[in-house]
């Protein structure tokens, strides 16, 4: 009987990555762990706790320094995107460039033949000679949206041990272990408890200069204290009284304007997504489901343009708050077939 391949787990010392280690061992794999040094505040205090947990698990453990790449590909990208009036998703960039890019490449150099495993709630499937991301058993916890832009061939060397488990089953497996992190992982790890506005004010102060509120027709209707305080779909916190509910429907960082409108002004019948990743070819006229933000349900849409640089689609019904900078993720059933960054309607 052939030996199971060595598997290296992207190991944060939290519940999910620890459960992944235990599950892989049960399956007979030779399991190792690799923790990324990202350069986050408090990291020097956390890494010794991760090492202690690895020692308790009798787990070969190493640290890979990705600070420079994380700063350039994730932090700086996030700040620059916000400064351009976009609402970016840093987890998408981290998965694409760091975890399933740089980390996988480092693994290939240091442990040729080893597979990479993560604690993501995700699954993979092979169809017609291609690998696809597929929804896990516990769809409430699904993290497919954050993985949609990784390089599709990378799935050949990736395992998702939690694919068939619920959150409760995962938690039960790590009871009593000295986890390095008892908290649920944050969507934006580098905020470290700091508010988004405070973070952006430190890194992009120009976005907090006073500017004009506009109505849906472009008429000046008031003043705001900085465009970066707002995001598309926001209602509370505008400080603008109009006798009815108004929402942020657009933000122009270059002009430093924020456009307010009614609920109907938030809805759009189409979207455009730039520089897409294709898991398989799309076809004009094809009907798919598309998610425009993590946690939201998918919307029926028809592909009207597909190619190397852009996807366009028309929604069956108008969709609320389609936000430039977020991800459009296209599904065929429970599998992702394409994804790209939303550029507009």
Interatomic CA distance for residues 241 and 264, integer angstroms: 18
Catalytic: which of 94, 227, 335, 342?
A: 94
Interatomic CA distance for residues 238 and 241, integer angstroms: 8
Token pair of 132 as six digits = 């696809």
Token pair of 298 as six digits = 């998918």
Interatomic CA distance for residues 61 and 47, integer angstroms: 11
Catalytic: which of 189, 197, 274, 300?
A: 189
Interatomic CA distance for residues 5 and 117, integer angstroms: 12
Torsion angle, CA of 227/228/232/238, rounded to 10 degrees? -60
Interatomic CA distance for residues 259 and 234, integer angstroms: 11
Residue 317 CB neighbour total at 10 angstroms: 9
Residue 252 CB neighbour total at 10 angstroms: 15
The SS3 of residue 60 is: coil
The question of whether 94 is a catalytic residue gets the answer yes
The question of whether 91 is a catalytic residue gets the answer no
List the catalytic residues.
94, 189
């Amino acid at each position: 009987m052939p030996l199971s391949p060595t598997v290296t787990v992207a190991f944060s010392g939290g519940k999910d990555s620890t459960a992944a280690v235990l599950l892989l061992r049960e399956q007979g794999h030779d399991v190792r762990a690799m923790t990324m040094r990202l350069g986050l505040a408090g990291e020097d205090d956390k890494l010794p706790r991760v090492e202690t947990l690895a020692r308790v698990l009798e787990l070969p453990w190493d640290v890979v320094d990705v600070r420079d790449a994380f700063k350039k590909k994730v932090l700086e990208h996030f700040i620059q995107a916000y400064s351009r009036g976009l609402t970016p998703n840093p987890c998408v960039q981290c998965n694409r460039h760091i975890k399933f890019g740089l980390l996988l490449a480092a693994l290939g150099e240091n442990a040729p033949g080893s597979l990479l495993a993560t604690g993501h709630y995700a699954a993979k499937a092979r169809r017609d000679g291609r690998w696809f991301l597929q929804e896990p058993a516990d769809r409430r916890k699904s993290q497919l949206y954050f993985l949609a832009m990784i390089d599709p061939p990378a799935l050949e060397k990736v395992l998702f041990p939690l694919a068939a488990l619920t959150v409760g089953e995962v938690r039960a497996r790590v009871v009593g272990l000295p986890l390095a992190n008892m908290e649920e992982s944050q969507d934006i790890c580098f905020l470290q408890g700091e508010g988004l506005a405070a973070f952006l004010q430190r890194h992009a102060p120009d976005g907090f200069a006073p500017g004009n509120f506009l109505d849906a027709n472009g008429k000046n209707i008031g003043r705001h204290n900085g465009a970066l305080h707002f995001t598309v779909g926001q209602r509370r916190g505008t400080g603008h009284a109009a006798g009815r509910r108004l929402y942020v429907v657009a933000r122009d960082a270059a002009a430093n304007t924020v456009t307010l409108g009614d609920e109907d002004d938030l809805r759009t019948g189409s979207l455009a997504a730039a520089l897409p990743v294709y898991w398989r070819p799309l076809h004009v006229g094809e009907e798919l489901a598309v998610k425009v933000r993590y946690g939201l349900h998918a919307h029926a849409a028809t592909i009207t343009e597909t190619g190397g640089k852009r996807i366009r689609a028309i929604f069956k019904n108008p969709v609320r708050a389609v936000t430039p900078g977020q991800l459009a993720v296209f599904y065929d059933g429970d599998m992702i077939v394409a994804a790209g960054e939303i550029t507009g309607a």
